[in-house]
Amino acid sequence: MVTLITTFFGIGQLNPAPGTWGSLAAVVLAVLLYQAGGAMLLPLAVVLVTLLGFWAVPQVLANSDDPDPSWIVIDEVAGQWLALCFTFIPLARHGVPVLAAWPAIVVPFLLFRLFDIWKPWLVGRADRRGDTTGLMLDDLWAGLFAGLTSVALAGLYHGLLEPRL
């Protein structure tokens, strides 16, 4: 059970770049949830996978020499869903179909992957902890930064750059 959770039902076993596969799977599931009318459930999903990650990851790491195996992707799922909350919830509140607003999917995905790989500031600090908290927290920070940056870019686009009719 803990392996299913930490690999997000085996997605973490895909190569190359299991973290990217985990993030992409999270995006696909978030879009499906949105289209089923459950975009407002996305924050609850973030909390659920975060709690599951904090429960399952220590059990897996207890039998591992690697403090952050690449096949553990539950942290990417939590961070990616957090990033998507910043664009999906406003779209849902305004009744906008998510596929019609495709930048609301692509931008948080790309920014999350950027922050997760680059590991600036608090993301890197969390990653350097080398423990379960750091493993989960670096992706949550990356998701928060990706979400906030997505909102800032959307505000810039819609406020300054969007063509006016």
Q: Which of 27, 23, 26, 22 is nearest to 11 (CA)?
A: 22
- In 3-state terms, what secondary structure has residue 131? coil
Give CA–CA dist 89/111, Å, rounded.
18
pLDDT tens string 39-71: 999 999 999 999 999 999 999 999 888 989 999
Give CA–CA dist 84/24, Å, rounded.
12
Q: What does pLDDT average to over the chain?
A: 95
- In 3-state terms, what secondary structure has residue 81? helix
Give CA–CA dist 89/40, Å, rounded.
6
Q: Output the pTM of the full model.
A: 0.95
Residue 161: pLDDT band by 50, 70, 90 thresholds? confident
Query: What does DSSP assign to residue 102?
Result: T
Q: Which of 113, 11, 18, 7 is nearest to 52 (CA)?
A: 7
Cβ atoms of 138 and 124 closer than 8 Å: yes
Can you give the pLDDT at residue 160?
A: 84
pLDDT of 165 strictly over 80:
no
Backbone φ, ψ for residue 69 (5° rounding): -60, 140
Can you give the pLDDT at residue 69?
A: 95
